[in-house]
């Protein structure tokens, strides 16, 4: 069990420290995870982005 946790922890660390913009979404476009690079690029905090929709500001016909 401890070994599996270590692998997950390492992968999360890679995502968090990546210089790529990383955002994990639900099937309906709600952000569940964003890394620091993503936050910095959009000049938003993690709290502002987590739970927000990628479709915010679009009408239903523009999705």
Local mean pLDDT, 10-residue blocks, the chain (63 residues) = 76 92 96 96 96 79 52
Residue 3 is predicted with a pLDDT of 65
- Domain range enclosing 49: 2-62
Number of structural domains the chain divides into? 1
User: E-strand spans in the chain?
Assistant: 23-25, 31-34
Instruction: Take residue 8 and report the two structure tokens written for it.
Output: 């997950």
Listed in sequence order, the DSSP H helices in the chain are 2-17, 36-42, 46-49
- pLDDT at residue 26 in the model: 97
Contact status, residue 33 vs residue 24, Cβ threshold 8 Å: yes
CB atoms within 10 A of CB 35: 21
The CATH number linked to 27 is: 3.30.450.20
| pLDDT value at residue 22 | 96
């Amino acid at each position: 069990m401890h070994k599996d946790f270590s692998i997950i922890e390492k992968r999360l660390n890679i995502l968090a420290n990546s210089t790529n913009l990383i955002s994990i979404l639900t099937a309906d476009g709600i952000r569940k995870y964003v890394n620091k690079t993503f936050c910095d690029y959009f000049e938003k905090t993690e709290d502002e982005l987590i739970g927000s929709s990628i479709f915010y500001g679009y009408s239903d016909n523009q999705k």
